[in-house]
Amino acid sequence: MKKALNIVGLIFGSIIALVAAALLFIGANDVPSYEVNLPDYKHESSPEALARGEKLTMMLCAGCHMNNKTGKLTGKRMADAPPEFGEIYAPNITQDNTHGIGEWTDAELLYLLRTGIKRDGRYAPPYMAKLPNMADEDVNALIAYLRSEAHSVSADSTPDKPCEPSLLTKALCRGPFKPFDLPEEKIDMPDAKNEVALGKYLAINLDCFSCHSADFKTNNFLEPEKSPGYFAGGNMPLNTEGEVMYTSNLTPHRETGIGQWTKEQFVHAVKYGKVEGEPVLQYPMMPYPQLSDEEAGAIYEYLMTIPAIDNKVERSVY
């Protein structure tokens, strides 16, 4: 018996030692780097692409990269980032050659947006939104806008600061969070006449599911509908004061979700941040006035088709 206990002790001791060694290795190293295999790509610009690109940039990128002091996408410290991810800074993505993306090629930008791999091979950690499911036309529009003469992306030498990823972030980047592959086939825009298809496209590619599913750490970005607690809320992003702001249940559950909401109520909440009889929605839930009524309404129609999940989330109000 004593011998058996000694053996068990040795096994557990060895496991603990291996885990400790692995954590020391992960903590001592940066997030992983990967080989860069750039596609043959050069953006196409048009008035329509620039308008679409500005709209997408303001909804997808500005929340993190817009600096109120410069009025440009020069980056800032993300005070609302979950502290377990480390000290997070959004980089300068203006056209400055030194501190921005002025020297990046179109192919390098596309590769980063699609895969999460930077031009030097380093992986952009999980808190940077990647776009593996976005239509080619929309990704092109984003890059066209970043290359445009718009004030928000004009060259600005404001230096940014490197992120200081936590041990958890480094571990996640060596585990569940890995770069995505470039799409092998063209991704088309959804049929604008199909409300549910359009709503699904927007709900996924505007990253709504990421906040409104159970946890950032368990989201499935390649197949969002497989994310635990898909749109059932309860995730815990922070406001700019570091206070937890629980996300709402947006499934069609009639008691704990939005099953009793009208389309008009939903559109008004999404576009203007107002819910009848309640305080205005608070950061990090930002209003999206850039969306048309049809687009916001399409998101509602899609949400009405997903599985209803009974998950009561008390609204965070500060």
CATH of domain 195-303: 1.10.760
Rounded Cα–Cα distance for residues 76 and 89 (Å): 6
Helices within the chain (DSSP H only): 2-28, 47-60, 62-65, 106-115, 136-146, 167-173, 195-205, 208-212, 263-272, 293-303
Mean pLDDT, the chain, as a whole number?
89
Q: Which of residues 318 and 239 earns the better pLDDT score? A: 239
Q: What is the pLDDT of residue 7?
A: 55
- Phi first, then psi, for residue 196 (nearest 5°) are -65, -45
The pTM for the full model equals 0.88
- Phi first, then psi, for residue 189 (nearest 5°) are -65, 150
Query: Is the pLDDT reported for residue 277 higher than 90?
Result: no
Confidence of residue 2 (pLDDT cuts 50, 70, 90): low
pLDDT digits (tens, 9 = 90+) for 249-270: 999 999 999 999 999 999 999 9
Which residue in 101, 133, 136 sits closest to 120, CA to CA?
A: 101
CA angle 105, 108, 111 (to 5 degrees): 150
Q: Average pLDDT of 47-71? A: 96
Task: Determine the 3-state secondary structure of 199 from DSSP.
Answer: helix
Rounded Cα–Cα distance for residues 289 and 50 (Å): 18
**How many alpha carbons lie under 13 Å from residue 225 in its C-beta half-sphere?**
9
- Same topology for domains 47-173 and 195-303, yes or no? yes
Q: Average pLDDT of 1-13? A: 52
Rounded Cα–Cα distance for residues 80 and 239 (Å): 5
226 to 160, 203, 210, 229, 232: CA distances (angstroms): 35, 14, 12, 9, 12
pLDDT digits (tens, 9 = 90+) for 131-168: 999 999 999 999 999 999 999 999 999 998 888 888 88
Confidence of residue 25 (pLDDT cuts 50, 70, 90): very low
Which residue in 70, 187, 172 sits closest to 127, CA to CA?
A: 172
Q: What is the pLDDT of residue 37?
A: 95
Q: Domain residue spans in the chain?
A: 47-173, 195-303
Structure tokens at 98: 């030194």
Rounded Cα–Cα distance for residues 123 and 315 (Å): 35
Domain formed by 47-173, architecture: Orthogonal Bundle (1.10)
Q: What is the pLDDT of residue 305?
A: 98
